[in-house]
Amino acid sequence: MKTSQCIDNEGKRVALFPGSFDPFTRGHESIVRRALPLFDRFIIAIGVNADKRSFLTMEQRKAMIESVFKGDPRVEVISYTGLTVDVAREVGAGFIVRGVRLIQDFENEKHLAEVNRDLTGIETILLYTLPEYSHISSSIVRELHRYGQDVSRYLPEGTNLEAF
């Protein structure tokens, strides 16, 4: 087992929050806001999956997330391809933060966390989604939007899919 350097070279606790965020929902925002007090630097990493057709472009997703956290210097938004643990190492993250909505999410995240820790020593922190957001997923938001439904209640306050 490898051990992680949980503190970066500047003495900061750095976390990586990976996902496709297509779109970024109130559930995602809640995870970030609840995790922020634990870290000095929080990197939201938008994963690029070449095999998947995106609803929003990378630039739109990045702009949406940056608008939610504007004014908070602890939050950075990046995009990446490849393995999450590789980008975590590149940015000096000692932690990966993940949200868990369902028991299936927990089982998947547990296996990934074990592999990531074994490969790199990077710890994964799982935060349970608040009950009021547990039914929200990016895929449901995309589907509702596709059929003309108002999805604003599922998105962070002040964001609007049409603006992106």
DSSP E strand boundaries for the chain: 14-19, 41-47, 75-80, 95-100, 123-128
Strand-by-strand arrangement of the 95-100 sheet: 75-80, 41-47, 14-19, 95-100, 123-128
Q: Per the residue annotation, which of 12, 52, 111, 135 is the catalytic one?
A: 52
Which residues touch 115 (CB under 8 Å, ≥6 apart)? none
Question: Is-catalytic flag, 101?
Answer: yes
Q: Per the residue annotation, which of 26, 41, 61, 138 is the catalytic one?
A: 138
Q: Per the residue annotation, which of 33, 74, 101, 142 is the catalytic one?
A: 101
Query: Nearest 5°: phi and psi at 153?
Result: -70, -15
Question: Is-catalytic flag, 28?
Answer: yes
Question: Is-catalytic flag, 52?
Answer: yes
Q: Per the residue annotation, which of 28, 41, 62, 98 is the catalytic one?
A: 28
Q: Annotated active-site positions, please?
A: 28, 52, 101, 138
